[in-house]
Amino acid sequence: MKNHVKLLISSLLLSLPMAASAATDDASYCKALAAKYDDLVANRGGARGATQSGVETSVALDQCKNGNPAGIPVLEQKLRDLKIELPPRS
């Protein structure tokens, strides 16, 4: 039983850096989405018939600009709807 606990603890400790790395990658990707949206849509007065962003988009932009990846799905969908290529996800 003690060996199982040691193995479980070791596995958890080894997985922590991977989880932190994924969170950092998500935050970076989210910031890239926000930058692309700002550049191609907001700053250029709309792209390919885009209209002003709604509250949902504004919240997603704010989340991404502040390192919160919760805005990723909204910004991905907004860019896809406008037929804008998404930035690469690393």
In this prediction, residue 24 carries a pLDDT of 72
Instruction: Look up tokens 């919240």; give the residue.
Output: 59
What secondary structure does DSSP assign to 24-82, as a single string?
Answer: HHHHHHHHHHHHHHIIIIITTT-STT-----HHHHHHHHHHHTT-GGGHHHHHHHHHHT
Cα separation, 71 vs 62, whole angstroms: 8
In this prediction, residue 49 carries a pLDDT of 47
In this prediction, residue 40 carries a pLDDT of 84
The pTM for the full model equals 0.67
- The rounded average pLDDT for each run of 10 residues, N- to C-terminus, in the chain (90 residues) is 56 50 79 93 59 82 95 95 89
